[in-house]
Amino acid sequence: MKTRSATIFIIVVAMCFLLNSEAKTTDPYKVLGVDKTASQREIQKAFHKLSLQYHPDKNKAKGAQEKFAQINNAYEILSDEQKRKNYDLYGDEKGNPGFGAGHPGGQGGPGSFTFRPGEQWGSGDQGSSKSFSFSFGGSGDSNSFGFGLDDILGNFFGGGFGPFGSSFSSQSGSKSTPKSFRSLTSNIYKKEIIDEGMTWLLLSYAPSLRGIQHFESIIGEVSGTLQGALKVGNINCEKEASFCKELDVYPRKAPRLFVYSYKENEKGSLVEYGGDLAVKDLKAFCQQHLPRFSKRIDLNQLDQYSTTGKLPRVLLLSTKKDTPVIWRVLSGLYRKRLTFSDVEVHDVSDPRVKKLGVDALPAIVGWLPNGEKLILKTGISVKDIKSAVHDLSNILDSFEKESKKQTSSQSKKAQADPEDSHIQLLSRSNFDALCGEKTPVCIIGAFRSSKAREKLESLLTLVSQKSLSRKPNRGGSSRDSISYALLDSAKQQSFLNAFDKTGYKSSDKLLIAYKPRKGKFTVFMGETTIEEVENFISSVLSGDVPFRETHKKPVLK
């Protein structure tokens, strides 16, 4: 019995020594090597540097694992505003001013005991006035030392890795939850993420997994540098198990990272990050998956943007070799409302740039549905991504509002005067007005039967009233217009032979997009539905279809 009591006594003394030593060395500020006045940014950087240095997967040195546990425990305290305040006031993140705080006199608390030197375990001798009271926390929770009673006993009695055969349960942030990220549910995901145009970085985790704080630190730095271009959220797969399984993001042995990307799928899709958990690598991955809905054009193509497509068009002129991050973000947010393009420009004195009326770079130019050009912003200055996206969004909103106003005005005018939207039949007398060299693009509907004529006339009338183009040119001299006309193929075969040697004799109806100034054309002979015709003309105006030269200049009889 005495031997057993002596053994227990030795264990308790060893525990007291261990706890006393730990209490002296677990100052979170010293562990992370920061001052008590350190900002959250400084604390985060220190944690990131040390956690990389002592991570068990990279550092196999003796004591590295315990150091890693201390680093995580220190960060858990200092990254939480309340815990840090408690520690600064009481020396304990739970607000316990002393080892036995929270339980008066150090007595009676769950998982706590008082040891008095000189007494035997369970002797009931209260003669000594000297005592040390320790609290281990209750119900399995971690205490101010960063581990619970079960961990202490485990360290002494077997299992695991540490110097006593077991690792601390708090290692790598066990039972912690990401603090600064949006908690996502299936409903939030469907309403705010899917197909909304913004790139998200998502962390799927379970509170019991290790390494959450390390993930949080890396993600925090990445999102901080891409603030305004990237949103961050987390999914607790213990609470949202069915949601995680639905997305196939359920964490295995460690948390997992995903980007909701528009790179591989225009509608957006989840892409898992499989690289090293390092700020530089993760940031590069996120930037790679930002939206790319802006079409990069050549400086020589600027003249093609004097006409508009199905949606109002905006063009960014900048000195960047690639599409700027801010423009990529905006192209995602507005992709269903505006058509984005961008071009690399280095000199505003370039005649092609001066023609647009731009006097300073970077600049944004917009074209309204009727082809009217507007200088939206020149000499753009950028402080950070977030403020730039906000400021430019206001400009684009105003431009879109003006575009809708003009489209509505055109529609009302067409309804009030249906005859004004009539598509004319090409003849020698009106050719110069409709398809002469003053017209950038002339859409010609060629027919061989009265039924085909009615079909083409109806389609072109509808299309000419939509926002993707101007109404038919009635002989005006605007260089920004697009004209629509009909052609009787049976009577004007020689005209068609200028485009193709066969004269398209086998086609009852077709559409020719003709650029008189350049002597180039392209032909559409597909299904003549309103959707297909709109898509064809939009592709013509956006430069997405190839043009070829005519055999000779087309001439009407």
What does the DSSP assignment read for 261-306? Answer: ESSS-TT-EEEE--S-S-HHHHHHHHHHTS---EEEE-GGGGGGGG
Point out which residues pair with 364 in neighbouring strands: 316, 377
Q: What is the pLDDT of residue 132?
A: 35
Q: What is the pLDDT of residue 192?
A: 93
Q: Tokens at residue 236, please?
A: 């607790």
Candidate from 160-164, 290-294, 455-459, 520-524 with smallest mean pLDDT: 160-164
| Res 51 pLDDT > 60 | yes
Mean pLDDT value across residues 173-199: 80
Q: Where does residue 124 rank: exposed (0-12), middle (13-18), buried (19+ CB within 10 A)?
A: exposed
Pick the CATH number of 2-173 from 1.10.3720.10, 3.40.30.10, 3.30.930.10, 1.10.287.110: 1.10.287.110
CA pair distance 21, 17, nearest whole angstrom: 6
Q: What is the pLDDT of residue 410?
A: 60
Q: What is the DSSP string of 60-82?
A: -STTHHHHHHHHHHHHHHHTSHH
Contact of 223 with 230, CB cutoff 8 Å: yes
| Per-residue model confidence as pLDDT tens digits over 236-289 | 999 999 999 999 999 988 999 999 998 756 788 999 999 998 999 999 999 999
| Per-residue model confidence as pLDDT tens digits over 91-103 | 777 655 443 333 3
| Per-residue model confidence as pLDDT tens digits over 494-516 | 899 999 888 888 889 999 999 99
Point out which residues pair with 523 in neighbouring strands: 512
CA pair distance 53, 43, nearest whole angstrom: 15
Query: For the chain, which residues make up each domain, given as ranges?
Result: 2-173, 182-288, 294-413, 420-549
Burial 441-456 (b: 16+ CB within 10 A, else e): bbbbbbbbeeebbebb
Q: Where does residue 67 rank: exposed (0-12), middle (13-18), buried (19+ CB within 10 A)?
A: middle
Q: What is the pLDDT of residue 472?
A: 41
| Res 187 pLDDT > 90 | yes
CA pair distance 10, 219, nearest whole angstrom: 46
| Res 359 pLDDT > 70 | yes
| Res 541 pLDDT > 60 | yes
Integer angstrom CA distances of residue 219 from 183, 216, 230, 254, 258: 14, 5, 11, 15, 11
CA pair distance 75, 68, nearest whole angstrom: 11
Q: Which CATH superfamily is domain 294-413 in?
A: Glutaredoxin (3.40.30.10)
| Per-residue model confidence as pLDDT tens digits over 436-482 | 888 889 999 999 999 999 899 988 888 887 655 443 444 333 334 68
Q: What is the pLDDT of residue 4?
A: 54
| Res 429 pLDDT > 60 | yes
108 confidence band (pLDDT: 50, 70, 90): very low
9 confidence band (pLDDT: 50, 70, 90): low
| Per-residue model confidence as pLDDT tens digits over 313-324 | 899 999 999 999
CA pair distance 232, 240, nearest whole angstrom: 17
Domain 420-549 has CATH 3.40.50.300: no
Q: What is the pLDDT of residue 263?
A: 75
Angle between helices 40-54 and 212-225 (to 10 degrees): 130
Q: What is the pLDDT of residue 282?
A: 95
Candidate from 412-421, 426-435, 476-485, 499-508 with smallest mean pLDDT: 412-421
Radius of gyration of the chain (CA): 36
Q: What is the pLDDT of residue 191?
A: 93
| Per-residue model confidence as pLDDT tens digits over 28-42 | 999 999 998 888 888
CATH topology of 182-288 equal to that of 294-413?
A: yes
Q: What is the pLDDT of residue 281?
A: 94
Burial 236-253 (b: 16+ CB within 10 A, else e): bbeebeebbeebebbbee
| Per-residue model confidence as pLDDT tens digits over 304-315 | 554 445 688 899
Share of the chain above pLDDT 90, in %: 36
168 confidence band (pLDDT: 50, 70, 90): very low
Q: What is the pLDDT of residue 180?
A: 62
Contact of 233 with 187, CB cutoff 8 Å: no
Q: What is the pLDDT of residue 40?
A: 86
143 confidence band (pLDDT: 50, 70, 90): very low
CATH number listed for the domain at residues 182-288? 3.40.30.10
Cα three-residue angle 215-221-225, rounded to 5 degrees: 145
